[in-house]
């Protein structure tokens, strides 16, 4: 095991312990390949599964694995042919069994931070599908909640506006200006700080750089 691998495992162990105190189950997978298997093992056969906008879960091959598995009813907005179809899938997501998402940042203490423009993702996370599984690269773990919010706003959001080619100040210089632009993707900021002890949330941490 390399020093980086050892450090990732130790850091993930600390976060998983913190999550447990907040009634959230955590898992650590050293690679994306392991993480895909771990996530599939958490989803009962026959489940209705969907996800929020996330480069992580696409890049790691999870969405493709769900389609290929054949045992799930997958609601995939990327397959929508019109904006109306995509909107319909956003709404159907609330009735899904399992919702997959990454996070824009996490704290070492187990806070989970997400920023949203439309609000469909944070709404589904807050109250919607029966189970929410977060898949998070260790690169998104910040020292504390303050640093996690700063990471989400100062790093993840400007990269996402660039990816989405939004007409926002941060797309021009890569720095958050705390704008009120109508094109901002930072309309809603959601923090999970605790959970009921009902198994609704779980987090799969991955020892690879994933997402932004
Ligand atoms: S400048 Fe606006 S859109 Fe860009 S990261 Fe800051 S608040 Fe979000």
Give the Å distance between the CA of 136 and the centre of ligand 1.
Answer: 22
Which residue do the tokens 């779980």 mark? 202
| Closest residue by CA, ligand 1 atom 7 | 178
Distance CA 115, CA 113 (A): 7
| Closest residue by CA, ligand 1 atom 2 | 179
Q: Which of 181, 182, 189 to mutate to test the pocket of ligand 1 (most atoms within 8 A of CB)?
A: 181
Atom of ligand 1 nearest to the CA of 171: 4
Q: Which of 164, 184, 187, 188 to mutate to test the pocket of ligand 1 (most atoms within 8 A of CB)?
A: 184
Contact partners, residue 120, CB within 8 Å, separation at least 6? 52, 90, 93
Report residue 203 as tokens. 């987090």
Distance CA 71, CA 103 (A): 26
Distance CA 160, CA 211 (A): 10
pLDDT in tens, 54-85: 888 999 999 999 999 999 999 998 888 998 99
Element of type H or E holding 37: helix 32-42
Atom of ligand 1 nearest to the CA of 184: 3
Q: What is the DSSP letter of 197?
A: S
Atom of ligand 1 nearest to the CA of 181: 2
Whole-model pTM: value is 0.95
Burial 153-186 (b: 16+ CB within 10 A, else e): bebbbbebbeeeebebbbbeeeebeeeeeeebbb
Strands 112-116 and 105-107: antiparallel
Q: How far is CA 140 from CA 98, 137, 206, in A?
A: 22, 6, 10
Pocket of ligand 1 (CB under 6 A): 153, 157-158, 161, 168-170, 176-179, 181, 184-186
Nearest-5° Cα angle at 77, 73 to 83 = 140
pLDDT, average across residues 103-111: 97
pLDDT, average across residues 185-197: 97
Question: What pLDDT sits at residue 198?
Answer: 93
pLDDT in tens, 16-33: 999 999 999 999 999 999
Atom of ligand 1 nearest to the CA of 176: 6
pLDDT, average across residues 79-108: 93
Q: Could you tell me which of 35, 50, 133 has the C-alpha nearest to residue 92?
A: 50
Question: What pLDDT sits at residue 3?
Answer: 96
Question: What pLDDT sits at residue 147?
Answer: 98
Percent of the chain scored above 90 by pLDDT?
A: 91
The full set of domains in the chain, from first to last, is 3-206 (3.40.50.10420)
pLDDT in tens, 7-17: 999 999 999 99
Distance CA 96, CA 210 (A): 25
Percent of the chain scored above 70 by pLDDT?
A: 100
Are the C-beta atoms of residues 108 and 117 closer than 8 Å to each other? Answer: no
């Amino acid at each position: 095991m390399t020093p980086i691998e050892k450090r990732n495992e130790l850091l993930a162990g600390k976060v998983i312990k913190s999550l447990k105190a907040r009634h959230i189950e955590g898992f650590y997978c050293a690679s994306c390949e392991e993480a895909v298997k771990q996530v599939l093992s958490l989803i009962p056969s026959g489940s209705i599964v969907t996800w929020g906008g996330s480069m992580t879960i696409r890049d790691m091959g999870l969405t493709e694995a769900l389609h290929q598995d054949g045992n799930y009813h997958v609601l995939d907005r990327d397959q929508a042919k019109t904006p109306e179809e995509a909107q319909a899938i956003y709404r159907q997501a609330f009735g899904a069994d399992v919702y997959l998402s990454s996070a824009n940042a996490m704290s070492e203490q187990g806070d989970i931070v997400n920023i949203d423009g439309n609000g469909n993702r944070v709404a589904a996370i807050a109250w919607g599908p029966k189970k929410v599984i977060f898949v998070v690269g260790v690169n998104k773990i910040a020292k504390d909640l303050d640093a996690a919010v700063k990471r989400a706003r100062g790093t993840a959001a400007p990269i996402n506006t660039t990816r989405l080619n939004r007409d926002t100040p941060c797309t021009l210089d890569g720095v958050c200006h705390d704008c009120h632009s109508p094109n901002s993707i930072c309309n809603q900021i959601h923090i999970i700080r605790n959970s009921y002890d009902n198994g609704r949330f779980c987090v799969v941490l991955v020892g690879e750089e994933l997402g932004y």
